[in-house]
A and B are shown apart, each in its own frame.
Chain A
Amino acid sequence: MQADAMRLLAIAITMLAVMPSALGEALVVVHAVDGISRNPEVYGKLRTTMILGCSLVETTAIYALLVSILLLFTK
């Protein structure tokens, strides 16, 4: 019981890593939109770069999710 509770707490702490990752993704999108509004011709190129950058930033959140899934299913 105690160990279970501690494991759930550990999962909750691990998932805190998602928060800065979301902020990072928001920064990527903000700057991409800034660039597009300043120079609308680069929309096509910037969109590809933005999606690539987003999925790179997302990696941290994926690591956190992986660790918490491992914590959840390994006893």
Chain B
Amino acid sequence: MDFIANLKNAHITGPVISSLIVMGIIIIFAIYIGIRAHFQDPLKKPKGALLLAECGVNFFENMAEGLLGKRFRSFGGYIMCLGIYMFVAFIFGLTGLPSPITYMAVPLSLGLSTFMMIHATAIKYNKFRYFKRYIEPVPLFLPINLISMWAPLLSLTLRIFGNAISGFVIMSLMYAALKDLSGMIFSSLIASEWSQVFIAPLLTWIFHLYFDLWSGFIQTTVFLSLTTIYVGQEIPEDLIGA
């Protein structure tokens, strides 16, 4: 019971709840696809949602193959996991609830998972030689190398977060301005605060199209490409082309 009482007192903000909703949507969809795939006859053509999922898997695996080579085609699973969550989280802003990406912790955790992937790959292929990179070219460079280690994490996180928050702020400013404009024009006709609602629905959808859909798609693609390139840098060159 203590747990529930603590949960009530905890400060759970809106973006955390919408992040949970996004995860729920993706989990339900994934379970549905899993059940469909289990009972699907492999000799028949897939239909509907299963076809969509197969196209998605193919797309992400081709993306991994294009940047890392045929041997790392299975890396598509990792970037598909990141990419679907990020894109759904971006377009979740269209529902009017706060998009999870506008909460700093969400892009930071996405960046952290990529950061750990980079270093895990480096340790996997370099073994103990991995630690040599921190004292190169001379041991005097240790503090500088330790700081520059965090650069990919910061740039990945801030790129996504900055894009989402700037879109969010611009949309908020636009809603406020259009509300006032509508109030100014229609207040002589309708003598209540309902005069403020007329202009915003006519104009804002096209900006939502840009800031949520287009920007979300582009930033997701950039994040996935950067992830793949950063990981690819740690793989020895003779493995990449094979």
A interface list, Cβ under 8 A from B: 51-52, 55-56, 59, 62-63, 65-66, 69
Contacts and interface: CB of A to CB of B under 8 A. Distances in A.
B157 to A, nearest CB: 11
B162 A63 contact: yes
A52 B225 contact: yes
B219 interface: yes
A69 B169 contact: yes
A14 B1 CA distance: 50
Interface in B158-192: 158-159, 161-163, 165-166, 169
A32 B182 CA distance: 42
Contacts of A56: 222
A52 B221 contact: yes
A69 B165 contact: yes
Interface string B193-227: 00000000000000000000000001101100100
Given A55-B222, A62-B162, A69-B165, 17 more contacts: A52-B221, A52-B222, A52-B225, A55-B218, A56-B222, A59-B155, A62-B158, A62-B159, A63-B158, A63-B162, A65-B162, A66-B158, A66-B162, A66-B165, A66-B166, A69-B166, A69-B169
A1 B115 CA distance: 43
- The A interface is mostly helix, strand or loop, or mixed, namely helix
Contacts of B155: 59
Contacts of A62: 158-159, 162-163, 166
Contacts of B218: 51-52, 55
B165 A55 contact: no
A61 B219 CA distance: 14
A18 to B, nearest CB: 11
Contacts of A52: 218, 221-222, 225
Nearest to B221: A52
B133 to A, nearest CB: 25
A56 B224 CA distance: 12
For A52, A56, A62, A65, the residue with the greatest tally of chain B CB atoms inside 10 Å of its CB is: A62
Contact of A55 (B161, B166, B169, B219): B219
A66 B161 CA distance: 9
Nearest to B170: A65
Given A51-B218, A59-B155, A65 B225 contact: no
A55 B225 CA distance: 12
A62 B169 CA distance: 12
